[in-house]
Amino acid sequence: MDTPPKDRIEVILMADQADPAHLWIQSTAAQARRMEFNKETSVRILGGAAAVFLLSLYLIPAKTVILLLLSLIILFPLKLIGMAGFSRGR
């Protein structure tokens, strides 16, 4: 489980459930914010993201795969040095 930094942008999915998912990335104090979504909104966000991903994979597969690989190239090092991460629970 990752330890989030003091100043971060944090998204909490399933905030009203017993074991919410916290996604965060380090930021400056001026940009730090916390966004909480209940179960209904979280399901809509995840379902919408999955639908957009599948639609983009169907319509423009090569560009979608390249964007996915670029996002992995950016997020993986951030995860390694602790600037981005996720955790479960309170």
Name the more confident of 1 and 61: 61
Tell me if residue 82 falls in helix, strand or coil: coil
pTM for this predicted structure: 0.83
Q: Which strand (E) or helix (H) includes residue 80? A: helix 61-80
How do residues 15-45 score in pLDDT, each as one tens digit?
999 999 999 999 999 999 999 999 999 999 9
